C-alpha cells in the first residue's frame, strides 16, 4: 500500500498543477506530496530491513538496495520541491518566467519523481525501462525550460543521446529474456525470473547482453564516453532539476545496471562485469578531472563532478569486496552533497545573473551563508574529512590497490587534479573584488534551508548510520 501512496501522491500533485490556477495551492500540494513520500519511503525501508524485501501486487518489488535508492530520491525530492517554490518565485518577480511556466514546472517535476520511484520498484525490467524512458521525456522539457537556443539545443542533445542509449539498453534486456522459457504469474518476466533462469543462459549471450545494458543505462548515469549530454543538461536546466539529475536519477540508473550485473555474475562470474565497470570508472574519473581544471561555468563544473563521482561508484563496485560497501555509502553521500551544491549554484545565479565562474566575485561578502555552505559542500564533495566521501574514497582505493594497483594509483592522481581544480574555482568565486552593481545579502532564507539540511544530513550520516540503514547496506553488499 505504501508504494502506491508514493506514486499516486506524485501523480495527484501533477494533476493539481494541471487543473488548479492558484499558485499557492500547486506549491502546497507538491510539498505535501513530497513529505508523504519521505514518510512512506522510511516505512518501506523499515519493512525491507525487517523482512529482506517489499512486494506488492506482483508488479512491484523492492530489495535492500532499492529501498536505499528510494530514500535518497525522497530526500532529494522534498529538498528540490521546497527550494523550487522560492526559486521560481524569485524568477517570476524578475519576469524571467510566468505562471504557465510554473505550472509546467511542477507538473513535470512530480511526473519525473514518480517515474524514478516506479523505475526502482518495478518487478519487471521492461517496466523499469519504460519508467527510465519516462524520465527522459519529462526532463527534456525541463532542460529547455527557459526557451533559450542553448537550452533547446541541450534538451535535444539530451533527448537523442539518452533515447539511443536506452534503446541499446532495451536490446540488452531482450537478450537476457532469451534465458527464460516460461512467463511469470503476471505474464511478465521479472528480475527474479531472470536470476532464477541464469543457469540456463549461454555465457557469451550473457556477456553481450550486459555490454548493451551497461552502455544503455550507463548513458543515463553519464559514464564517459556517453557523458556528452550531461554538462549541457545540467547547465541549462533550473538548479533544482540539476539536483534531481545528479542526486536522484544517477542512483536510479546505476541501480538498474547493478540488477543486470547480479544476473550476469550468476552466469559468468563477477570478473567480466567488474572489468567493464573498472574501465568505465577510470574513464569517468580521468576525463572530467582535466575538464574541471579549466572549466568556466560553475553549473557545468558540478556536472563534470557528477561524472567523476559516477566513476568512483563504478570503481567501488568493480573492485568488489569492501569497495562495494564504500560505493553504497558514496552513493548516499554524493547524492545529498551534490544536490545541495546545485541548490547553492541557483542562489549564485539569482544574485549574479550569470553561470560564468569569472563573473562570480567576492561571494563571501555578497552571499555569506550561501558561500560558506558552498565551500563546505565542495570540501565534502571532493573528499575532505570529516565528511563521509573522504572515507569512502579511501576505502575504494584500499579495495583496489592490491588487485588493480596501476588503476588505483592513476585514479588517485586524477582525483587529486579534481581537488586542485575545485579549490582553484571556489577561491576565485568567494574572494576577489566586490562588484559595484550587486547588493549584499541572501535573497531568502527559504533558499538556504534545503542545502543546509542536506549538508547536515550528509555530515550526520558520515558518523552515524541508523540501524535499519546499516542492515540495508549489509544486505546490499551480500547481493551486489
Calculate mean pLDDT across residues 417-425: 94
Of 343, 314, 113, the closest CA to residue 227 belongs to: 314
Please state the separation of Cα 110 from the chain's center in Å.
16
In tens, the pLDDT along 84-110 reads 999 999 999 988 899 999 999 999 999
Q: Range of 52's domain?
A: 2-479
Residue 72 has pLDDT above 70, yes or no: yes
Cα 129 from Cα 220, distance rounded (Å): 11
The per-residue pLDDT for 439 is 77
The per-residue pLDDT for 183 is 57
The per-residue pLDDT for 182 is 59
The per-residue pLDDT for 479 is 85
Lowest mean pLDDT among 104-113, 119-128, 175-184, 349-358: 175-184
Using CA atoms of 98, 447, 74, 324 in order, give the dihedral in degrees to the nearest 10. Answer: 130
CA 424 vs CA 296, 375, 421, 465: distances in Å: 11, 12, 5, 33
Element (H, E) at 61: strand 60-62
Please state the separation of Cα 218 from the chain's center in Å.
12
- Number of structural domains the chain divides into: 1
Residue 10 has pLDDT above 60, yes or no: yes
DSSP 404: -
Which residue is it, cell 524514478?
116
Which residue is it, cell 563521482?
309
Grid coordinates given for 423? 579549490
Q: Mapping DSSP to helix (H, G, I), strand (E, B) and coil, where does residue 227 land?
A: coil
Element (H, E) at 112: helix 99-121
Cα 228 from Cα 240, distance rounded (Å): 21
The per-residue pLDDT for 186 is 56
The per-residue pLDDT for 434 is 66
Give me the helix-helix angle, 229-236 and 149-177, nearest 10°.
130
The per-residue pLDDT for 461 is 96
Of 146, 145, 223, 209, the closest CA to residue 178 belongs to: 209
Element (H, E) at 291: helix 270-294
Grid coordinates given for 198? 541464469
pTM, rounded to two decimals: 0.95
Q: Mapping DSSP to helix (H, G, I), strand (E, B) and coil, where does residue 417 land?
A: helix
Calculate mean pLDDT across residues 415-435: 88
Cα 17 from Cα 110, distance rounded (Å): 9
In tens, the pLDDT along 249-282 reads 999 999 999 999 999 999 999 999 999 999 999 9
Q: What is the end-to-end Cα distance of the chain in Å, rounded?
A: 27
The per-residue pLDDT for 196 is 87
Q: Which of the four pLDDT bands, split at 50, 70 and 90, describes residue 436?
A: low
Q: What is the CA radius of gyration of the chain?
A: 21
Q: Any residues with CB less than 8 A from the CB of 254 and at least 6 apart, and which?
A: 217, 221, 310, 313, 331
Q: Which of the four pLDDT bands, split at 50, 70 and 90, describes residue 316?
A: very high
Lowest mean pLDDT among 52-61, 162-171, 373-382: 52-61
Q: What is the mean pLDDT of the chain?
A: 93
Q: Any residues with CB less than 8 A from the CB of 406 and at least 6 apart, and which?
A: none
Q: Mapping DSSP to helix (H, G, I), strand (E, B) and coil, where does residue 98 land?
A: coil
Cα 41 from Cα 67, distance rounded (Å): 7
Grid coordinates given for 30? 507538491
The per-residue pLDDT for 181 is 66
Cα 251 from Cα 238, distance rounded (Å): 20
Q: Mapping DSSP to helix (H, G, I), strand (E, B) and coil, where does residue 297 land?
A: strand
Instruction: Output phi, psi for 297, to 5 deg.
Output: -120, 125
361: left (phi over 0), alpha (psi -120 to 50) or beta: beta
The per-residue pLDDT for 184 is 53
Calculate mean pLDDT across residues 224-229: 93
Cα 477 from Cα 65, distance rounded (Å): 9
Q: Which of the four pLDDT bands, split at 50, 70 and 90, describes residue 435?
A: low
Burial class (CB in 10 A: 0-12, 13-18, 19+), 228: middle
Q: Which of the four pLDDT bands, split at 50, 70 and 90, describes residue 185?
A: low
Amino acid at each position: 500500500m505504501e508504494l502506491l501512496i508514493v506514486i499516486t501522491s506524485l501523480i495527484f500533485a501533477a494533476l493539481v498543477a494541471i487543473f488548479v490556477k492558484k499558485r499557492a495551492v500547486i506549491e502546497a500540494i507538491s510539498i505535501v506530496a513530497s513529505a508523504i513520500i519521505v514518510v512512506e519511503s522510511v516505512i518501506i525501508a523499515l519493512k525491507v530491513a525487517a523482512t529482506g524485501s517489499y512486494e506488492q501486487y506482483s508488479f512491484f518489488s523492492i530489495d535492500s538496495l532499492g529501498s536505499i535508492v528510494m530514500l535518497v530520491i525522497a530526500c532529494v525530492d522534498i529538498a528540490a520541491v521546497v527550494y523550487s517554490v522560492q526559486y521560481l518565485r524569485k524568477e517570476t518577480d524578475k519576469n524571467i518566467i510566468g505562471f504557465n511556466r510554473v505550472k509546467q514546472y511542477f507538473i513535470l517535476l512530480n511526473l519525473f519523481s514518480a517515474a524514478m520511484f516506479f523505475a526502482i520498484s518495478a518487478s519487471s525490467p521492461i517496466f523499469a525501462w519504460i519508467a527510465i524512458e519516462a524520465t527522459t521525456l519529462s526532463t527534456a522539457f525541463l532542460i529547455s525550460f527557459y526557451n533559450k537556443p542553448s537550452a533547446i539545443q541541450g534538451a535535444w542533445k539530451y533527448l537523442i543521446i539518452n533515447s539511443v542509449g536506452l534503446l541499446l539498453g532495451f536490446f540488452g534486456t531482450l537478450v537476457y529474456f532469451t534465458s527464460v522459457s516460461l512467463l511469470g504469474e503476471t505474464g511478465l518476466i521479472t528480475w527474479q525470473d531472470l536470476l532464477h533462469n541464469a543457469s540456463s543462459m549461454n555465457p557469451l549471450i550473457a556477456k553481450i547482453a550486459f555490454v548493451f545494458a551497461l552502455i544503455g543505462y550507463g548513458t543515463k548515469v553519464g559514464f564517459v564516453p556517453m557523458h556528452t549530454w550531461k554538462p549541457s543538461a545540467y547547465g541549462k536546466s533550473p538548479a533544482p532539476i540539476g539536483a534531481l539529475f545528479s542526486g536522484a536519477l544517477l542512483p536510479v540508473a546505476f541501480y538498474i545496471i547493478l540488477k543486470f550485473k547480479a544476473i550476469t555474475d550468476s552466469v559468468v562470474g563477477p570478473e567480466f562485469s567488474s572489468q567493464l565497470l573498472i574501465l568505465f570508472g577510470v574513464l569517468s574519473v580521468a576525463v572530467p578531472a582535466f575538464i574541471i581544471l579549466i572549466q568556466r561555468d560553475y553549473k557545468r563544473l558540478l556536472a563534470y563532478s557528477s561524472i567523476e563521482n559516477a566513476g568512483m561508484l563504478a570503481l567501488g563496485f568493480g573492485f568488489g569486496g569492501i569497495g562495494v560497501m564504500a560505493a553504497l555509502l558514496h552513493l548516499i553521500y554524493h547524492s545529498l552533497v551534490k544536490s545541495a551544491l546545485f541548490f547553492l549554484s541557483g542562489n549564485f545565479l539569482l544574485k549574479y545573473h550569470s553561470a560564468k565562474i569569472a563573473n562570480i566575485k567576492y561571494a563571501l561578502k555578497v552571499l555569506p551563508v550561501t558561500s560558506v555552505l558552498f565551500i563546505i559542500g565542495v570540501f565534502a564533495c571532493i573528499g575532505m574529512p570529516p565528511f563521509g566521501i573522504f572515507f569512502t574514497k579511501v576505502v575504494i582505493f584500499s579495495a583496489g590497490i592490491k588487485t588493480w594497483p596501476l588503476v588505483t594509483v592513476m585514479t588517485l592522481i586524477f582525483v587529486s587534479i579534481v581537488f586542485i581544480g575545485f579549490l582553484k574555482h571556489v577561491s576565485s568565486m568567494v574572494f576577489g573584488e566586490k562588484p559595484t552593481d550587486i547588493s549584499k545579502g541572501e535573497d531568502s532564507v527559504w533558499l538556504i534551508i534545503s542545502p543546509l539540511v542536506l549538508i547536515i544530513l550528509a555530515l550526520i550520516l558520515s558518523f552515524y548510520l541508523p540501524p535499519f540503514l546499516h542492515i540495508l547496506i549489509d544486505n546490499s553488499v551480500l547481493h551486489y
